[in-house]
Chains A and B, each alone.
Chain A
Amino acid sequence: GQSLEQPSEVTAVEGAIVQINCTYQTSGFYGLSWYQQHDGGAPTFLSYNGLDGLEETGRFSSFLSRSDSYGYLLLQELQMKDSASYFCAVRGRAAGNKLTFGGGTRVLVKP
């Protein structure tokens, strides 16, 4: 099957940088995605990495190393509105090409 590990919680102050790591196990890896979910809200897509390297979207960047089965989401210039849960998700042949989500990292931004 597929499995993912990410930290359960991270706390940081406004303006800081937070890195959320995600390690995964799968076979026939296709790519790693990141989703944001505010309390009581729906998950929303942030980024996707299919190849090694860094993808940047505004204040958020996502990185993938296929050889290390590892990726991270980098949140820069943290704002209060970034307080949310962040999920990594992997797609691989091990789960019939279906997306498997990690347990989520709760990010708390303090003033």
Chain B
Amino acid sequence: NAGVTQTPKFRVLKTGQSMTLLCAQDMNHEYMYWYRQDPGMGLRLIHYSVGEGTTAKGEVPDGYNVSRLKKQNFLLGLESAAPSQTSVYFCASSLPRKHRLDEKLFFGSGTQLSVL
């Protein structure tokens, strides 16, 4: 039982390059999220999904796209990377909010992305 797995763990891009971050969870969670974390700041929600085939914008969606073709996978894409997208990216998953314990988000180990 691996929980939430993110790949890759590190990546360096040049401005204008594209890439996809992969998030996989094996807990059969309905909800999945992509956050970014910048130094000294909290986590900011980029996009999220409440189920297979559905996605929605979060707090800072510009420059990113996502897809949830399978329940267990949530992909984050950068079509044309910019230095402002240098950050640590975290994927998370949770159950639907039917119970107080569903407030618990399970996070992956993060991806350190540098855009030069």
Q: Is the CB of A31 within 8 A of B42?
A: no
Q: Is the CB of A101 within 8 A of B103?
A: no
- Taking the complex as formed, is A33 at the interface, i.e. its CB lies under 8 A from any CB of chain B? yes
Q: Is the CB of A43 within 8 A of B43?
A: yes
Q: Is the interface of A mostly helix, strand, loop or mixed?
A: strand
Chain B residues with CB under 8 Å of A58's CB are none
Q: Is the CB of B105 within 8 A of A45?
A: yes
* Cβ-closest chain A residue relative to B105: A45
Q: Which of B13-21, B22-30, B67-75, B106-114 faces chain A?
A: B106-114
A41-B109, A42-B90, A43-B90 known; A101+B104 contact, CB < 8 A? no
- Taking the complex as formed, is B51 at the interface, i.e. its CB lies under 8 A from any CB of chain A? no
Interface residues of A in 22-50 (CB under 8 A from B): 30-31, 33, 35, 41-45, 48, 50
* Cβ-closest chain A residue relative to B91: A42
Interface residues of B in 22-62 (CB under 8 A from A): 35, 40-45, 48, 58-59
Report Cα–Cα, A7/B93, bound state, in Å.
Answer: 27
Report Cα–Cα, A25/B75, bound state, in Å.
Answer: 31
Chain B residues with CB under 8 Å of A101's CB are 35, 42-44
- Taking the complex as formed, is A83 at the interface, i.e. its CB lies under 8 A from any CB of chain B? no
Q: How large is the interface on A (under 10, 10 to 19, 20 to 34, 35 or more residues)?
A: 20 to 34
* Cβ-closest chain B residue relative to A1: B59
Partner of B110, one of A42, A45, A89: A42
Q: Is the CB of B45 within 8 A of A44?
A: no
Partner of B107, one of A4, A8, A42, A95: A42
Besides A31-B100, A104-B40, 16 new A-B residue pairs in contact (Cβ under 8 A), listed by A number:
A4-B42, A33-B104, A42-B107, A42-B109, A42-B110, A43-B90, A44-B107, A45-B103, A45-B105, A50-B100, A89-B42, A97-B97, A98-B45, A98-B48, A101-B42, A104-B41
The 10 closest A-B pairs by CB, nearest first: A101-B42, A42-B107, A48-B103, A45-B104, A101-B43, A103-B42, A43-B107, A42-B109, A102-B42, A104-B42
A interface, CB within 8 angstroms of B: 4, 8, 30-31, 33, 35, 41-45, 48, 50, 87, 89, 91, 95, 97-104
